Structure 1
Amino acid sequence: MARSSSSNSLHGRRIIVTRAREQASELSAKLTALGAEVLELPLIRVSKHISKEALADVLLELGSYDWIVFTSANGVRYFFEEFLRIFDDIRSLGLLRFACVGDATAKGIRELHLKVECQPKVATGEALADALIETGSLDNAKVVVITGNLNRDVLVTKLEGAHAIVDQLQVYQTERVDLTDNPAAAEFRTQGADAVLFASSSAVDSFAAQQAALTLQKGAKPPLFGSIGPLTSESLTKAGLEIGFVAKEPNLDSLVQALVKKLGARESRQ
């Protein structure tokens, strides 16, 4: 019989969380509450990285932009840390309209009591560009896209193709964590896990690039690989890693629900 989604639905299950250390606690807490044994294996490190000159240029022109676009919750966090350091009134944003990808990004904006006017159902930069184009507001509009160092070009390319004037402001960088001497990686090699959860393409890329530090030893349990959304799934496929399950919605709750359902179904067949 399959496990229910009760407080013990992941009892006895060993789950690997691959988010950056500063972002892992929320997902780990959700899993622990369901009885899982959680091993945090941060594959990436995210940190603020902003050119003071580029920031000054954008803030000086802030009142002239029509849209401000965020591609991640990290972008919201680091942009507003700097904005609120310089300005003491949220009204200094002027009449900017907000667009974003993903529920976590939208949540970060709404927590500042700001309205998200454009968020596609599919959490990709391409879908966001299409949604913005559909508003009919881009012809000669000024748009600032808040990015990290690994953002893809498709969003900006499509916006420019719709005759928008696009500036980019990088506010953070994502780096690979070296797992060579990492104790969590050693534990994973020897014991394996029921599942490894991926919430970003950069975590998948880091995992795939460090197979020497992550190859399971004899007797270790081979895990299922879980994906939070389409871009992460695409990266898993490109890396040659079989996708075990995918969240229905691109958020942590949906990822956990997909995990519980998959492991329950797997157990019922055994």
Structure 2
Amino acid sequence: MLPLSGKRILVTREATKAHTITRLIEQQGGISIEIPLLHFQGIYSDENEKIMKQLPSYDWVFFTSTNGIHFFFELMKHYNNTYEQAAKLKFAVIGEKTEEVLNDFGYEAHFIPNTYTGEHLGKEFNEFTSKCCSILVVQGNLAKQSVVQELSTRDHVISTAEMYETRVNVRMKEALKKSLQGTRLDIITFTSPSTVQAFVKLAEEEWREELMSIPCVCIGPSTQAEAIKKGFNYTMIPEYYTVEGMIEVASAYFNKKG
């Protein structure tokens, strides 16, 4: 029997990325319940237009999420930046999935940390280079500043740009309610602190306490910290902070539980 056979797993990831984790769940025999709790929108502002015009002045561009990459290149196209301008830049990414998306746009990552967190991205980059660099950090409106804080321990010239905003998908409230009422959930998956926050915001008060007793798998330590902060009783994170790692942890949990 497959480790997730018959297990009902809530996938809270945004709609465009949910299929990846659903496929992994189904490969292990599980039942994926997709309720995308977030959606994203690019920020077209005078500030971002100015930053895009100044792209050649940066040595490095840092990405801490795949969304950051998508909206960076979307804004590049919108503001008529050329391939040649981006080709002269060096790119630092937070992990292998972010690297894959960058590759899809035709660019290579010049730096990836060994541990896939913002803190390690900044810390390991400072160990990687002895130079002081001009750095653009691409962010969303809810981004934590750990990578900026670590980079700031050196004399880099750092600019940050909010290129997209994260919004709670309020249209999913009724779908979430229907999926939870009268239905057993075996595990909840969270791929960012924002998904935890959205879940708690959309969950009805009357059954929120019961939901907090459901085990949840979080993609990394910052997401786990948010889940614990919001009151979840049992949280897990993988050794490698990827969706593949999340499903491995879920499978190991049920194998052990029997």
Q: TM-score normalised to the size of structure 2? A: 0.89
Paired residue for 1:104, among 97, 112, 132? 97
| Counterpart for residue 80 of structure 1 | 73
State the alpha-carbon separation in 2 of the partners of residues 236 and 86 from structure 1: 38
Q: What is the alpha-carbon root mean square deviation over aligned residues?
A: 2.5
Using the alignment, how far apart are the partners of 1:170 and 1:156 within structure 2?
Answer: 13
Q: Structure 2: how far apart are the matches of 1:180 and 1:115?
A: 36
Q: 2:184 is matched with which residue?
A: 192
1:245 and 2:239 matched: no
Match of 1:69 in 2: 62
* Aligned residue number for residue 205 of structure 1: 197
* Conservation of the 8 A alpha-carbon contact between 1:103 and 1:250: no
Match of 1:172 among 164, 178, 184: 164
Task: Give me the identity figure in percent.
Answer: 22
Unaligned runs of 5+ in 1: none
Shift in CA distance, 191/93, structure 1 to aligned 2, threshold 3 Å: same
Name 1:12's counterpart in structure 2.
6
Kindly state the Cα deviation for residue 171 of structure 1 after the two structures are TM-superposed.
1.4
Q: Where does residue 119 of structure 2 map in the other structure? A: 126
Q: SS state of the match for residue 232, structure 1?
A: helix
The question of 1:49 aligning with 2:46 is answered no
Q: 1:165 to 1:212 in 2, by over 3 A?
A: same
Aligned to 2:24: 30
Q: Contact 1:225/1:245 (CA < 8 Å) preserved in 2?
A: yes
Q: How many residues align?
A: 258
Q: Is the 8 A contact 2:224 2:236 kept in 1?
A: no
TM-score normalised by length of structure 1: 0.85
1:261 aligns with 2:252: yes
Could you tell me which residue of structure 2 aligns to residue 230 of structure 1?
Answer: 221
Q: From the superposition, tell whether residues 227 and 47 of structure 1 become closer, same or farther in structure 2 (CA, over 3 Å).
A: same
| Amino acid in the other structure paired with 1:57 | K
Gaps of at least 5 residues in structure 2 are none
Task: Check whether the contact 2:227–2:235 (CA below 8 A) recurs between aligned residues.
Answer: no
CA contact (8 A) 2:12 2:189 kept: yes
- Tell me if structure 1 keeps the 8 A contact 2:239–2:245: yes
Partner deviation per Cα, 1:110-159 (whole Å, 9 max, x = no partner) = 223322122212222111111121123452x2111111000112322332
Of stretches 157-166 and 121-130 in structure 1, the one that deviates more from structure 2 is 157-166
Partner of 1:157: 149
* Alpha-carbon distance between aligned partners in 2 of 1:216 and 1:232, rounded to the nearest angstrom: 18
Report how far residue 87 of structure 1 moved: 4.7
Residue type at the aligned position of 1:66: D
Q: 1:60 to 1:191 in 2, by over 3 A?
A: same
**Is the CA contact 1:194–1:222 (under 8 Å) kept in the aligned structure 2?**
no
